[in-house]
């Protein structure tokens, strides 16, 4: 079975165009808010703090803060992309088109992940203005970035299929992803926590993402890099499995 | 018969337990205009939804242009265009972008010349760079049609195409349907407006409570079920209906005679003439003759009422 590449391209370009149209909301807003973190925690407070594992505090928080934006933006981009047509009713066209699940995902999730990777790159470049840092394993960093962007765009897509109102679309990034990222070692090393809370923290999936990404930057992390990578791959597979099931059963899309 | 769509034993039961389609058998001929009539909730939109891929069937098969819509959905759907009932459009995209998107989604390479032709045919060309949100309802409806035609479908579904549409657009739409038929496109439309079916359709199917209760050539249907009601105004009162072969009803005041002829065309005219001749022979003088042929609407109401 050949791939309907025209359809993938149509969806992908359509979605990227939507970002371009909402440039301020999609790119500028997260870049500005992340820059504020760098200014406050990196430059201002960071200069008063000791280094963590030999990394200055300002540099230490860069991977985690970048991920914070990647996770929330991937989730909301992925979810809006598919929720909007459901909301306006234009989903009829997607359902009546000769496209497979794989093509729909490539289009929507590919576009959402692309946006996130672009956004992440812009944030990392911006951070360089405030905090000097080097990336020790740039290829790994890129790999983590792309995988995490894809995983959370997929997760967002699932959310967009599941949600029955705009409220749910916003609750998940705000009330689940943001707290888990804050508590996932973005601003601190989990070694700083009491032993009990260190164990609890290991149940937070985002710990593995933040630490894997940070390892790629500085060659040091709280969690073994390969464990982080394995967990990241696992989340991605879980999302792929969930989405396959959703389309197989026609859940919420086809009646 | 060369069927472009062949529906066999089609069943749809929704999760709620509602059985929307009950063992539907229906064949649509290649190149015809088929009107599907039925009251609200009869199953028209569900039936279209199944063929187009919006609704999953629970039983039976549908073959569209030789392709099974479930097993070979890609080939089947590529042949079908759908104009939905609801005005569901992207709001912030331009007309050009949304119509081009549809073509790509259906697996065709960009073809600006084709999109240009469609937009011109639908009087949308000067609006091509407008955002859809700024268009009127009628214009949005045109955009939906343009989207459905962007991938050059062989089969076009129009679900209530003229609901809430002004006279001008309705005329344009009828003209467009005629042109498409000339190009060999098969058109299936659902409608509440019997007038529309009467005007455009080659064949008519009536669906009620999830069952196809009748499929017939339009003219045959009119002939078979159509009736002509004849009212004769008399110059002077009668006490009893005149004794002629045709049974006549006399009104209570004795001033009008009425009778009903079934069939269509010449036989009816002859029937009226025969009655008038017979009356004249019996020296019954009349001042007016009024004939009213039943419309598809009367037939339809009759049919649906009979079944319920």
- Those residues whose C-beta lies under 8 Å from the C-beta of residue A62, and which sit 6 or more positions away, are A38, A42, A124, A127, A131, A133, A217
pLDDT recorded at residue A118? 93
pLDDT recorded at residue A202? 85
B82 touches chain A (CB under 8 A): yes
- pLDDT surpasses 60 at B33: yes
Tokens 């205009």 map to which residue?
Answer: B33
CA A73 to chain centre: 6
- pLDDT surpasses 60 at B264: no
**The dihedral of CA B61, B67, B72, B76: what is its sign?**
negative
Looking at the structure, give the CATH architecture of the domain made up of residues B226-307: 2-Layer Sandwich (3.30)
pLDDT recorded at residue B148? 95
Quick one: what percent of chain A has pLDDT higher than 70?
Answer: 98
Domain boundaries along the sequence of chain B? 3-222, 226-307
A99 touches chain B (CB under 8 A): yes
The DSSP secondary structure of A191-227, one letter per residue, reads GGS-HHHHHHHTT-HHHHHHHHHHHHHHS--SS-HHH
What tens digit of pLDDT does each residue of A218-239 get?
A: 988 888 889 999 999 999 999 9
pLDDT confidence of B275, banded at 50, 70, 90?
confident
Substitution target from A1, A84, A96, A107 for chain B, most B beta carbons within 10 A: A96
Least confident of A33-37, A192-196, A249-253: A249-253
Domain spanning B3-222, CATH class: alpha beta
Q: Test B104 with A10 for CB contact under 8 angstroms.
A: yes
A90 touches chain B (CB under 8 A): yes
Burial level of B243, CB count in 10 A (0-12/13-18/19+)? exposed
Q: Average pLDDT, stretch B252-261?
A: 86
Between the two ends of chain B, the Cα-to-Cα distance in Å is: 32
Report the alpha-carbon distance of residue A212 to residue A232 in Å, rounded: 9
What tens digit of pLDDT does each residue of B170-190 get?
A: 888 888 888 999 999 999 998
Closest C-alpha to B155, from B183, B133, B195, B196: B183
A111 touches chain B (CB under 8 A): no
**Residue B130 or B168, more confident:** B130
pLDDT confidence of B1, banded at 50, 70, 90?
low
Report the alpha-carbon distance of residue A61 to residue B82 in Å, rounded: 52
Report the alpha-carbon distance of residue A225 to residue A205 in Å, rounded: 14
């Amino acid at each position: 079975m050949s791939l309907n590449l025209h359809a993938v391209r149509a969806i992908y370009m359509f979605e990227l165009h939507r970002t371009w149209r909402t440039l301020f909301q999609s790119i500028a807003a997260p870049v500005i808010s992340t820059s504020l973190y760098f200014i406050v925690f990196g430059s201002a407070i960071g200069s008063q703090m000791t280094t963590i594992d030999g990394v200055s505090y300002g540099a230490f928080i860069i991977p985690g803060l970048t991920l914070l934006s990647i996770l929330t933006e991937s989730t909301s981009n992925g979810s809006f992309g598919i929720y909007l047509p459901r909301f306006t009713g234009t989903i009829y066209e997607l359902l009546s088109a000769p496209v497979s699940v794989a093509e729909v995902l490539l289009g929507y999730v590919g576009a959402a992940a692309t946006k996130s990777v672009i956004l992440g790159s812009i944030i990392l470049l911006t951070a360089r203005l405030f905090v000097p840092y080097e990336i020790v394993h740039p290829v790994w960093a890129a790999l983590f970035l792309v995988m995490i962007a894809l995983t959370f765009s997929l997760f967002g897509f699932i959310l967009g299929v599941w949600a029955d109102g705009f409220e749910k679309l916003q609750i998940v990034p705000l009330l689940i992803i943001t707290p888990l990222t804050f508590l996932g070692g973005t601003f601190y090393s989990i070694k700083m926590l009491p032993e009990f809370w260190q164990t609890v923290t290991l149940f937070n999936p985002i710990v593995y993402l933040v630490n894997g990404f940070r390892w790629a930057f500085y060659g040091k992390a709280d969690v073994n890099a390969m464990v982080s990578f394995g967990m990241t791959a696992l989340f991605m597979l879980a999302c792929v499995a969930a989405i396959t099931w959703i389309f197989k059963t026609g859940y919420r899309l086809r009646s | 018969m060369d069927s472009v769509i062949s529906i066999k034993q089609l069943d749809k039961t929704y999760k709620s337990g509602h059985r929307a389609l009950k063992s539907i058998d229906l064949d649509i001929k290649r190149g015809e205009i088929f009107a599907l009539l039925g009251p609200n909730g009869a199953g028209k939109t569900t039936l279209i939804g199944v063929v187009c891929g919006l609704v999953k069937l629970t039983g039976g098969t549908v073959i569209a242009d030789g392709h099974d819509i479930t097993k070979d959905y890609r080939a089947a759907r590529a042949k079908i265009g759908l104009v939905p009932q609801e005005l569901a459009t992207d709001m912030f995209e331009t007309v050009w972008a949304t119509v081009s998107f549809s073509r790509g989604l259906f697996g065709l390479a960009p073809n600006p010349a084709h999109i240009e032709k469609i937009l011109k045919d639908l009087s949308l060309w000067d609006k091509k760079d407008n955002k859809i949100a700024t268009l009127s309802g009628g214009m949005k409806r045109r955009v939906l049609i343009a989207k459905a035609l962007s991938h050059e479908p062989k089969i076009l579904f129009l679900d209530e195409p003229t609901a809430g549409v002004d006279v001008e657009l309705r005329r344009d739409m009828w003209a467009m349907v005629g042109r498409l038929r000339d190009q060999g496109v098969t058109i299936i439309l659902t409608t509440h407006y019997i007038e529309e079916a009467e005007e455009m359709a080659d064949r008519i199917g009536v669906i009620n409570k999830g069952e196809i209760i009748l499929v017939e050539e339009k003219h045959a249907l009119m002939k078979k079920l159509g009736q002509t009601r004849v009212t004769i105004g008399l110059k002077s009162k009668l006490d009893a209906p005149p004794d002629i072969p045709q049974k006549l009803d006399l009104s209570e005041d004795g001033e009008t005679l009425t009778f009903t002829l079934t069939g269509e065309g010449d036989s009816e005219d002859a029937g009226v003439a025969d009655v008038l001749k017979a009356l004249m022979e019996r020296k019954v003088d009349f001042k007016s003759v009024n004939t009213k042929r039943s419309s598809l609407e009367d037939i339809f109401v009759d049919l649906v009422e009979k079944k319920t």
